Amino acid sequence: MTCRDAFELVVFDCDGVLVDSEVIAVRVDQLVLADLGWELEREEIVERFVGRSEADFIAAVEEQLGIELGEGWDRKYDPWYRTAFERELVAVDGVEEALDGLRVPHCVASSGSHAKMRRTLRRTGLWHRFEGRIFSASEVASGKPAPDLFLHAAGTLGAAPERCAVVVEDSAHGVQAARSAGMHVFAYAGGVTPAGRLEGPGTTVFHDMRQLPGLIDAGRP
């Protein structure tokens, strides 16, 4: 029996997979970066930062601008993100139907902090579906595209990669992390990252979240 025949755990990314936050975050990121003195196009922000942790974002800004942001640098910008999310954030289209149709245990593993996931998952009504099975990049040494986070989540829940944990991702960095962890990837191309950036070995690209249960079932015995 191959790994594709016996999926035992589905590891969901959060932003862009469960909650439709990436399009909002990229827009606000562009405003924040411009205010700091770094003008970037939307596509470049997607390429550089979607799927990465806040620590990676800070390190890139400091290197580019030759500054040290320091503690509390983001107090000015927190209301920008919070207001946009409060006004616009919804669950990814079709994700509730997908979760209802899953016959496999599942969890969340995200580059975002636990506080951020509490806010976004509660706001979209998804928190109760994952409570107690939520993992953050803050728990591991290296965030995506390193495999640490996905290995940590799967190992904690007793589904090592060789026992067929799979990942649902929407970013190139997240897809790379899943591949590095030896996990099959279901890459959701309904968000901000073009499908072409997600394609590759060990990856099933799909465009409608409602397709996910069928795709996963197709890999089960």
3-state secondary structure the chain: CCHHHCCCEEEECCECCCECCHHHHHHHHHHHHHHHCCCCCHHHHHHHHCCCCHHHHHHHHHHHHCCCCCCCCCCCCHHHHHHHHHHHCCECCCHHHHHHHCCCCEEEEECCCHHHHHHHHHHCCCHHHHCCCEEEHHHCCCCCCCCHHHHHHHHHCCCCHHHCEEEEECCHHHHHHHHHCCCEEEEECCCCCCHHHCCCCCEEEECCHHHHHHHHHCCCC
What's this model's pTM, rounded to 2 decimal places?
0.89
Q: What is the pLDDT of residues 114-170, one digit of tens each?
A: 999 999 999 999 999 999 999 999 999 999 999 999 999 999 998 866 556 899 999
Number of separate domains in the chain: 2
Residues 60 and 35 in one domain: yes
Residues 15 and 76 in one domain: no
The CATH number assigned to the domain holding 42 equals: 1.10.150
Per-residue pLDDT for the chain (221 aa), expressed as one digit of tens each? 344 456 889 999 999 999 999 999 999 999 999 999 999 999 999 999 998 888 889 999 999 999 999 899 999 999 999 999 999 999 999 999 999 999 889 999 999 999 999 999 999 999 999 999 999 999 999 999 999 999 999 999 988 665 568 999 999 999 999 999 999 999 999 999 999 999 999 999 999 999 999 999 886 54
The residues assigned a catalytic role are: 13, 15
Residues 93 and 59 in one domain: no
Residues 12 and 28 in one domain: no
Which pLDDT value is given to residue 85?
Answer: 94
Residues 42 and 113 in one domain: no
